[in-house]
Structure 1
Amino acid sequence: MENFVITFARGFGTGGKAIASQLAKELGIHCYENRILTLASQLSGLDENIFQEVNEKMRETSGFSSFLRGLPRSRRYISRNEKFVSDDKLFEYQSEIIKDLAEKESCVIVGKCADYVLKGKPNVVSIYIEAPRAFCVNRTMENMGVTEEVANATIERTDKFRADYYEYYTHGNYWTNPVNYDMTLNSERVGVQNCVKTIEQYLIIKELITPDMIHPAGELK
């Protein structure tokens, strides 16, 4: 059976990362999120911290990000030998890693506009996980040990980063557009564990996996 890739976009606090990790575990494949930043760092020879600065967000150093976003793309490139390396160039390195992973192995990829980077490939399934704000707030409070106020602020800020990042690198598309994905799941209504099962059944329907490839793990909350 050929390689297959499942990409995940997710609202903060929806459980999307946990769903992606559990799915990868049950299918016996790797789940890539921040590991992509490490691989991109190794590919480019640039410090990983630079990639962390633009991890699903535009850089915000002294307003320079806003300035860069207003420039034509042909003027945004700054050589890797300069102190500052353009956000576009960092995205190119990440995209190269994502494409390479898709060629070499079956895997799960979380975030990084992976659905767009791998758009049109028949062996790719793209998933978006959403949930009502109250559900996300409660999960964030529980997982991070923070107040409701901090949870709300964290969700709002992180989701805005992700939405702006996605819009920019997909040339004006919007992050929550259901047309971008094979499947959009509400993790509160479906249940976090059942999201995993639903995606697995879809992969079977698409003939990307067979039932015997699934090895159920412990229940997610």
Structure 2
Amino acid sequence: MENFIVTFARGFGTGGKEIASMLAKDLGIHCYENRILTLASQMSGLDEKLFLDINERIRNNGGFTGFLKGLPRSRQYIARNEKFVSDDRLFEYQSQIIRNLADQESCVIVGKCADYVLKGRENVVSIYIEAPRAFCLERTMQRMKVSADVAAATIENTDKYRADYYKYYTKGNYWTNPVNYDMTLNSEKVGIAGCVKMIEEYLVMKGLITREQILSEQITKGEEKK
């Protein structure tokens, strides 16, 4: 069976990142998010000599996939007052990495306009996760340990940043437009685990995975815990 890719876009506080991570674990594949941006940032600011050096390291580590695994995971949130500033060169490197990953392996990719970058590929499923503001607010307060005012500002400004980012790099498209995605799920109504199950069922329906694959991974994880 050929590679398949699941892309995720999500509102802040919806649990979209958690859903993406759970899905990847269930299917035994990698989930990529901030490591893509880390590598793209490194590559976009390199002079020619350093650029050649990092490309050599990528080749020696089994392509972008192997190289990304060694990069640190960023746990930073977008600052509440951060404004979107375009960086076309950075986006092009990022898109190159996303296309390379899609060519090499089955994986989950969070954000980065991955649905747009991989548009037209039959083996790509794009998901948007949404939820009511009250749900996102409560979840953000608990996870970030902040007040309601800080959580509300974080959600508002982060979602605006993501919307502006998406609109700019997709040439005017809207981030929340359901036409962009295979599925739009409400994580409050469906539940975090429920969203994972629905996406898995859709992947089976599309012929990208089998139920036997899911069961096999679940059995493997269960044995590893013993």
TM range (shorter): 0.7 to 0.9
- Aligned equivalent of 2:55: none
- Aligned equivalent of 1:175: 175
Deviation of 1:213 after TM superposition, in Å, equals: 1.5
- Aligned equivalent of 2:113: 113
The yes-or-no answer on 1:198 pairing with 2:226 is no
Once the two structures are superposed, residues 153-177 of structure 1 have per-residue CA deviations (whole angstroms, 9 ceiling, x without a partner) of: 0000000000000000000000000
The one-letter code sitting in structure 2 at the alignment partner of 1:149 is D
The one-letter code sitting in structure 2 at the alignment partner of 1:4 is F
In 2: Cα distance, 1:42 partner to 1:210 partner: 38
**SS of equivalent residue, structure 1 residue 127:** strand
Q: How does 1:4-23 map to 2 (within 5 A)?
A: 4-23=4-23
**SS of equivalent residue, structure 1 residue 157:** helix
- Aligned equivalent of 2:26: 26
What TM-score does the superposition give when structure 1 sets the normalisation length? Answer: 0.80
Deviation of 1:46 after TM superposition, in Å, equals: 3.7
In 1: Cα distance, 2:194 partner to 2:180 partner: 22
Give me the CA root mean square deviation.
Answer: 2.4
Once the two structures are superposed, residues 12-56 of structure 1 have per-residue CA deviations (whole angstroms, 9 ceiling, x without a partner) of: 0000000000000010000000010233245446499xxxxxx8x
Q: Report the number of matched residues.
A: 188
Is the 2:44–2:89 Cα contact (8 Å) retained in structure 1?
no
What TM-score does the superposition give when structure 2 sets the normalisation length? Answer: 0.78
In 1: Cα distance, 2:161 partner to 2:45 partner: 26
Deviation of 1:212 after TM superposition, in Å, equals: 1.7
The one-letter code sitting in structure 2 at the alignment partner of 1:34 is N
In 2: Cα distance, 1:118 partner to 1:11 partner: 20
Q: How does 1:41-190 map to 2 (within 5 A)?
A: 41-44=41-44, 46=46, 60=83, 65=85, 87-190=87-190
Structure 1, unaligned runs of 5 or more? 49-54, 70-86
In 2: Cα distance, 1:178 partner to 1:159 partner: 16
The one-letter code sitting in structure 1 at the alignment partner of 2:102 is A
